[in-house]
Amino acid sequence: GFSRRGVRGNFVPPIRSNGSSTGNVTSRIAGKGEDAIDDSTKRCLELLCGPDGELPEKLRNLEPRLIEHVSNEIMDRDPNVRWDDIAGLEHAKKCVTEMVIWPLLRPDIFKGCRSPGRGLLLFGPPGTGKTMIGKAIAGEAKATFFYISASSLTSKWIGEGEKLVRALFGVASCRQPAVIFVDEIDSLLSQRKSEGEHESSRRLKTQFLIEMEGFDSGNEQILLIGATNRPQELDEAARRRLTKRLYIPLPTSEARAWIIKNLLEKDGLFNLSNEDTNTICKLTEGYSGSDMKNLVKDASMGPLREALKQGIEITKLKKEDMRPVNLQDFEKALQEVRPSVSLNELGTYEKWNEQFGSLS
């Protein structure tokens, strides 16, 4: 048309600035009656503009500062985790590759009967690699990764959670293929309602389900991954939308050995015999991946503490003079770093897995 109208219907003069879309974006926003848009917000909106220099339809009714927050804080440009960084979990990796990565790489093949579910649930004890898997998926599928902790929606974004959710899904749909990782998804989609539940959190939940429904039915290349260590709190509606549900258990003995070796080797500190490694693995039954990482961290301080105890000053300490990490360092660290998951918690996961988990 000859003239354009702003989002609220106010007249926007059809001025195009040559080469840059700044004028356009600013006028859009100015049309929303928010004149205090700073440069960083402007730059962020420009990046989301299409080839025509226009902000995509979906983003036009959203608040610029929320779009900026999503782009800067929630969107992760470089998730930087590869499959090879994740110890064990072969079964989960295989499922995820077929179910999620191939469809994101080849949408042309995975349609119709082969169209994938758009919701994946990763459940299991904390610190077992659920977030790592999410990041690796984004990396392997060359997708944009969005990370949000659901509890921040209810705590930090009180009253604004709904708007932020809309901004999140809006930006994701402009950045396809996209992976949206929702940590602690139980706090968003839990079945505890009625008395305790506030009106606002009910609305937030509804908004979230609507957004999911939206991309589930469309042709969008968006995958939602929910992670939880309280799967039993999810209600039926949540389970229905998270069609694939994978149990991410504690690391096996082999996986624990791999974590120890991998972390120490990165720093050139690995010099344990197979026998010592086996001993450590026996002593770390029930440790999560994240417990193992803390254990290795603590053990790796051993040689340093020892050198300092001998009276060497930290400023004079030569790296070459420090010995590699040994079994005794681990034995000491084991007294400091205890497993964070209890045995009876594991029973709960296994039961839920039998009832609702996906086998393949």
Stretch that binds ligand ADP, among 103-111, 130-138, 323-331, 346-354 (CB under 6 A): 130-138
Can residue 290 be called a binding residue for ligand ADP (CB under 6 A)? yes
Can residue 131 be called a binding residue for ligand ADP (CB under 6 A)? yes
Please give the Cα distance from 184 to 162 (Å, whole number): 17
Can residue 129 be called a binding residue for ligand ADP (CB under 6 A)? yes
Give whole-number Cα distances, 250 to 127, 240, 279, 346, in Å: 8, 26, 18, 9
Interface residue with ligand ADP, options 86, 92, 136, 260 (CB under 6 A): 86
Interface residue with ligand ADP, options 28, 93, 118, 130 (CB under 6 A): 130
Please give the Cα distance from 138 to 134 (Å, whole number): 7
246 C-beta neighbours (distance < 10 Å), count = 26
Can residue 126 be called a binding residue for ligand ADP (CB under 6 A)? yes
Residue number with CB closer to ligand ADP (79 or 129): 129
Can residue 289 be called a binding residue for ligand ADP (CB under 6 A)? yes
126 C-beta neighbours (distance < 10 Å), count = 17
207 C-beta neighbours (distance < 10 Å), count = 17
Stretch that binds ligand ADP, among 24-32, 69-77, 87-95, 172-180 (CB under 6 A): 87-95
In the complex, the smallest distance separating the C-beta of residue 134 from ligand ADP, rounded to whole angstroms, is 8
Residue nearest to ligand ADP (CB): 289
* Structure tokens that stand for 130 in this block: 């659920």
**Footprint of ligand ADP on residues 208-227 (CB under 6 A)?**
227
Stretch that binds ligand ADP, among 16-24, 66-74, 91-99, 120-128 (CB under 6 A): 120-128
Half-sphere exposure of residue 325: CA atoms within 13 angstroms, side-chain side? 25
**Footprint of ligand ADP on residues 164-203 (CB under 6 A)?**
none
Helical axes 161-174 vs 199-217, angle rounded to 10° = 20
Stretch that binds ligand ADP, among 18-26, 128-136, 206-214, 274-282 (CB under 6 A): 128-136
In the complex, the smallest distance separating the C-beta of residue 54 from ligand ADP, rounded to whole angstroms, is 38
Please give the Cα distance from 81 to 133 (Å, whole number): 8
**SS3 label, residue 53:** coil
In the complex, the smallest distance separating the C-beta of residue 129 from ligand ADP, rounded to whole angstroms, is 3
CB 250 within 8 A of CB 341: yes
Can residue 251 be called a binding residue for ligand ADP (CB under 6 A)? yes
Strands (E), the chain: 4-5, 11-12, 75-76, 119-123, 144-149, 178-183, 222-228, 244-247
In the complex, the smallest distance separating the C-beta of residue 128 from ligand ADP, rounded to whole angstroms, is 4
In the complex, the smallest distance separating the C-beta of residue 344 from ligand ADP, rounded to whole angstroms, is 19
Please give the Cα distance from 178 to 148 (Å, whole number): 13
Can residue 128 be called a binding residue for ligand ADP (CB under 6 A)? yes
Can residue 79 be called a binding residue for ligand ADP (CB under 6 A)? no
Binding site for ligand ADP (CB under 6 A): 86-89, 126-132, 227, 251, 259, 289-290, 293
